[in-house]
Every structure is written in structure tokens, then in C-alpha cells.
Amino acid sequence: MSSNENGFQKFRNEDIVGFTCRTLSSMGSEIRRVFLLGQKLREENPNIDLVDLSLGNPDLEPPDEVRAELVRLAQENVAGAHRYMDNAGYPDVREFLSRRLELSEGVPLTRDSVFLTCGAAGALQVLLRTLLDPGDEVILLAPFFSEYRPYVTNMGAVPVIVGSDENHFPDLNQLKQALSPRTRVLIINSPNNPSGALYPESLICEIAKLLKSFREETGRVVHMVSDEPYARLLFNPSELVSVLKIYEAAWLVRSHSKDLGLAGERIGYLAWGPALARPETLNALRNSARALGFVNAPALMQRLLPRVFDASVDVLQYKKRVDAFVDILQTGGLECTRPRASFFVFPRSPMPDDNSFTEQLVEAGVLAVPGSSFGKPGYFRCSLTQPLERIIEGAHRIVRFARSKSLK
């Protein structure tokens, strides 16, 4: 311990931050690290011209009807509108969602099969707290959302990573080998962050078949958690697959951060099918939410949801950005699978070391995130949440930079 110029003692990092938190902070932090690097560069040089493709922060503003309904809700004088409610959320909102999900997912649901949460991240935390015991294993299909690893480790569980092919579809042989007596959860993220890939129904059926065979052989139920915050940013909405209809022990996780432009408002939900619909299920989720400090999803956002459920940002704008970006990269000689949803693109790094490539790419005025952060080295993620002209400029800079490296 040392003292500063005022005589106050200065504590070491380890005196303030526990080992577990230090360990968790080293996982999934690369996205924020690159984003903060961009902020630092701008502070040092306000005139710097950076194309920031690091953070998945949707830039399309909420639709007009969303803003109008928010104003109406704020002006309503309803007693108790801002008080606590059932940890699972308002019963009428859960009833509304269950009716809509019955139609879209093709399985019977009740309001007690829906749990409103603080975004998809809150839903995942509550669910993992409910399902996992220390030492359990959670299978992550690479590439995966980088925060999954700290989410899993935070519950005392162990992440097990399964690789994928050039289309970013999981290797089923690896998946079969990864199943063990400690496997408890498999997380699916389709549409996928970081790749924008969409798992076809045939693939999800094959995954479900593996999990069912494993249960028959061992008696061990593996829960399939389908994390779908980009479900309504599909470029062809008819391609969405219902995991609830395919696998009995499946959980649906969704949010409206992206399709309604409400990332900062934190509204999402969990849903589950008849096989999991027991009174104990809802109560266990309530207890987990309280233990984690979520208590309940924001009251205002809950009340807003039924009024604007059918609204959406203009997904075509994201598709135009994705198509323009991929076209430029492919024409420039970079390998890149064309996404089928969202605003992410996941090209192959032109350098073997994706961390080194993204660090050097800053010299060209582009911020991107190495694929290693998502469990798939040799790639890099670009978040296309800027106007089209900036997206095009960023793509050209990447191509020019890649060519300059290949000529050396």
C-alpha cells in the first residue's frame, strides 16, 4: 500500500477487487476494450477520423409509434403504475406475450410460461442461476456472444466450447464428444452474434436429436437455451425456427433492444413450453431474479410492450449496410460469409493472428473486435451500426489495409 501526495493511502487493485471478479473481468471484455480505445483516441485527438465497428450498439431510433406510446404512458395517471409487481412481470403483459408466442412458436403457452426480464442478458442470468449447480458444464457453440463465458463462470459452472465450420454452423461430432455427465445446458445463439448466421431447422433438429439420445442413454436432461435478441432482425422473417416446437427442454430468450431500438431500456423475456411448465419453474425463476438483484423488469417498458409489439425499426437499412459491406470485402479478396440477420459481419482475418490484425487495423482508422473474443480465432467482428456511407468507408479501409499487408 502506498500514499498519494495528499497523504491518503492508495490501495492495490487486489485490495479492492476480488479474485473472482478479476477473473470474470478478463472474459468477454475485448469488445469494451476496443470501444474504450476509440474513446481514448478521440479524447487525445478530437479531429481523428475513426470508423468504429466495435460495439453492437444499435443506432436506429425507436419507431414513431414507440415514442408516441411512451409519451402517452408517462401522462397516464394510474395508481401504482410505478410500484413493484410480481417478479415475473405484470400478469396481463405475460398473458399477451403467451398468446402471441403461441402463434409464432407453434406450442401451447400460458402466462405462467413467460417471465419478463431486464433484457436478454437479464433473462440468461436468471435462467442460468435457476438451472446450474457449481461444477455443471455449459456448452457454447463458437462463435458465441463473448459474455456467455463470464455468465457461466459467475454461476460456478464450466464453459465447454464446440467449434464450427466455415458457415459458422456447429460441428456436430464435436458436440457429441462434448456431452458429459456434467453437461446441464447448451446455449444456442441464432441469429448469431458475431456472425449473423442463422441455423436452419434441419440443424436444430439434429442438435435436438443428439440431446434426446444423450438423455435416453444417461438419464441426464440437457437444457437448450435459445438466445434470440436478433430474432426480429431477420432479412427473411419466414426463416426463423421455433426451438420450443423442436425440443421439449428448450427455453426461449428474447429482447426488444434491437428491433424496437430500446437497448438502454432493458426489456426482454423468457418463455418455455409445456414439458417445463410446472409451478416450481416460475417460483424458482422468481427466486433467482431476487437473488441476482433484478427484482423485476422496468414497469414502464412492461406496460409499453403490448402497445408496440408489432412495431419495428427498418430492418432493410441493416440489410443494405450488410450487403454493401460484404460486397466490398469479397470484391477486395477477403473471405466473408454473408449474414442472414442482424447488423454483424464476421470476416476471416487476412492475418493468422486476429488480435494483431485488429490492433494494427486501428492505424487504418477502423475499430473492430478479434474473433478470439467469440471463441473463433482467425476472424474479426464488425458491427454495422453507423450510417451507410461510414460503413462503406470502413469496408474500403479494411480492404486497403489488408492489401498493404499482403504486399509486404
pLDDT digits (tens, 9 = 90+) for 97-121: 999 999 999 999 999 999 999 999 9
Q: Is 150 within 8 Å of 125 (Cβ atoms)? A: no
| CA end-to-end span of the chain | 48
In terms of domains, do 260 and 402 share one? Answer: no
- Please spell the DSSP secondary structure of 174-239, one letter per residue: HHHHH--TTEEEEEE-SS-TTT-----HHHHHHHHHHHHHHHHHH----EEEEE-TTTT-BSSGGG
pLDDT band at 21 (very low <50, low <70, confident <90, very high): low
Residue 221 has pLDDT above 90, yes or no: yes
Give residues with Cβ within 8 angstroms of 349, minimum separation 6. Answer: 357, 358, 370, 371, 378, 379, 380
pLDDT of residue 23: 62
Distance separating alpha carbons of residues 203 and 216, to the nearest angstrom: 20
One-letter amino acid of 309: F
In terms of domains, do 227 and 258 share one? Answer: yes
pLDDT band at 48 (very low <50, low <70, confident <90, very high): confident
pLDDT of residue 170: 98
Which structural domain, as residue segments, surrounds residue 140? 80-308
pLDDT of residue 46: 82
In terms of domains, do 235 and 327 share one? Answer: no
In terms of domains, do 222 and 276 share one? Answer: yes
Q: Write the pLDDT tens digit of every residue in 336-369.
A: 999 999 999 999 999 999 999 999 999 899 999 9
Burial pattern 313-332, b for ≥16 Cβ within 10 A else e, equals bebeebbebbebbbebbbeb
**Percent of the chain scored above 90 by pLDDT?**
85
Residue 32 has pLDDT above 80, yes or no: no
Instruction: With residue 272 as reference, give the H or E element that holds it.
Output: strand 268-272
Query: Up-side HSE of residue 183: CA atoms within 13 Å toward CB?
Result: 26
Among residues 243, 278, 308, the one where a domain terminates is 308
pLDDT of residue 24: 56
Q: Write the pLDDT tens digit of every residue in 129-140.
A: 999 999 999 999
Among residues 284, 308, 332, the one where a domain terminates is 308
In terms of domains, do 201 and 335 share one? Answer: no
Residue 407 has pLDDT above 60, yes or no: no
In terms of domains, do 273 and 220 share one? Answer: yes
Q: Is 282 within 8 Å of 112 (Cβ atoms)? A: yes
Residue 368 sits in a domain whose CATH number is 3.90.1150.10
pLDDT of residue 273: 97
In terms of domains, do 298 and 320 share one? Answer: no
pLDDT of residue 28: 52
Does 67 reside within a domain?
no
Judged by DSSP in three states, 259 sits in coil
In terms of domains, do 222 and 366 share one? Answer: no
Residue 271 sits in a domain whose CATH number is 3.40.640.10
In terms of domains, do 318 and 303 share one? Answer: no
Among residues 308, 343, 374, the one where a domain terminates is 308
Residue 44 has pLDDT above 90, yes or no: no
Q: Write the pLDDT tens digit of every residue in 166-193.
A: 999 999 999 999 999 999 999 999 999 9
No. of helices (H) and no. of strands (E), the chain: 15, 14
pTM more than 0.85: yes
In terms of domains, do 291 and 330 share one? Answer: no
Q: What is the mean pLDDT of the segment spanning 53-61?
A: 92
In terms of domains, do 256 and 212 share one? Answer: yes
**Cα angle for residues 98, 101, 104 (degrees, 5° grid):** 160
Residue 293 is given by DSSP the state T
pLDDT band at 159 (very low <50, low <70, confident <90, very high): very high
Q: What is the mean pLDDT of the segment spanning 203-209?
A: 98
Number of structural domains found in the chain: 2
In terms of domains, do 325 and 385 share one? Answer: yes
pLDDT of residue 13: 74
